[in-house]
Amino acid sequence: MEFRDLKKQYQVLKPQMDAAIGKVLQDCNFISGKQVAELEEKLAQYVGVKHCVTCGNGTDALSLVMMAWEIKEGDAVFVPDFTFFASAEVVAFEGATPIFVDVDERSFNIDPDKLEQAICAVEQEGKLRPRAVVAVDLFGQPADYRRIEEICRRHNLLLLEDGAQGFGGMLDGKRACSFGDAAATSFFPAKPLGCYGDGGAVFTDDDGLAARIRALGVPAVLVINKVDTLENKEKLLEVIAAYNAVHEFEAVMPISAREKDGVEELLELLGIAYLRNRVYTEISGGERQMVLIARALMQNPSFLMMDEPTSSLDFGNQMRVLAQICALARRGVGVVMTSHFPDHAFLCCDKAAVMSRTEPFRVDAIENIVTEDVLENAYGIPVKIASIDVPEHPDGSVTTCVPLLKTKAHPCPCDSVELPARFEGRDA
């Protein structure tokens, strides 16, 4: 006997399902289309949270939260010992240590008393940093979140609800997947909310967490190009190949150069629809860059390589090009961009590398790569990485790189420059 007869279910729902699938095929919204956005909105409303971010499966949903929280080696994450292995697998995958906690014999959900005992034991031992708890909902019933949330607050731990087997359940008037700092669920056919294939979602009220999770789904890379050598270019290609293999970059804009409608959609997407009847040689530098990006996107790429796309542009057009690059990354296009301006890394990138004879080539988080020491060694001038409070900015502050051309410790370089004799005696 089959656990769930999908064939019979399909026969009952065939008219509605065929119409919905036909609409997707008609619109060519195969990845992250409007149907996905509508699903996310309705799921968030049903659960009672601000954000729902869909993904490939329930394991991915758990893993995305772990990555967004930067769970890493040396961290302890507390997991019930009666659960699907993915609840602990994602912890180990990030290099952290899963600490298994016994379950309540009546509910088979994690036992709050034993959870606190396990947390205290890890704290006393001092070998690992307690970071988070993964509470699993089983058999349609949420875990005891009243006590679990209190314990997490007392020990300053993050709480992730694994609601794959509890979706639709309620506790104290709140639905499953609305507890803790974030929740994850699966749409595998055997789950309470199953689909015809695989799928998953993350739920949260945390705006910043939702933004980080969406960004993790479409990573972008920035490379600050200091030395233009064949060796470094080969290294760059290796990095691109590695990222492409791990993240499986996919373009989400089903646009073909042979489809007029696709062209119009692309022009609207890039904000250059007003240029449709203009001559290329008669438009500005920033507009030309947008047109070149549009031309590349007409090939429906999974990955874009941009060699200094903001060079020779004024400040305003630089920012417009960078804004479009960020938008493309959010839509699923992988981007590798070279630039001579470190600030570009802070403005639009997830990871960075510095190509220099003085620095080993590596790709890492922005804060680990774009540092004062690295930039000073690469460019040969003193710099200062500064954070400026900007209340209007979503993060409340911005980071920038300031060249120290003239300080008490570093006088202006022009003071020590000797001009050729032919320039002597001329007014400054």
The token duo for 297 is: 């996107």
pLDDT tens column, 76-114: 999 999 988 888 889 998 889 999 999 998 889 999 999
DSSP string, 331-347: TT-EEEEEES-THHHHH
* 124 backbone dihedrals φ, ψ, rounded to 5°: -70, -40
Length of the chain: 428
Task: Check if the beta carbon of residue 385 is closer than 8 Å to that of residue 401.
Answer: yes
Looking from the CA of 313 toward its CB, the CA atoms found within 13 Å total 23
Low-confidence spans in the chain with pLDDT less than 50: 1, 219-221, 225-230, 246-260, 428
Distance in angstroms (rounded) separating the CA atoms of residues 32 and 40: 10
Q: Which residues pair with 184 in a beta bridge?
A: 162, 202
pTM: 0.55
> Which domains, ranges and CATH numbers included, belong to the chain?
6-216 (3.40.640.10), 221-251+301-413 (3.40.50.300)
* 204 backbone dihedrals φ, ψ, rounded to 5°: -165, 155
* pLDDT for res 260: 47
Distance in angstroms (rounded) separating the CA atoms of residues 263 and 276: 10
* pLDDT for res 247: 46
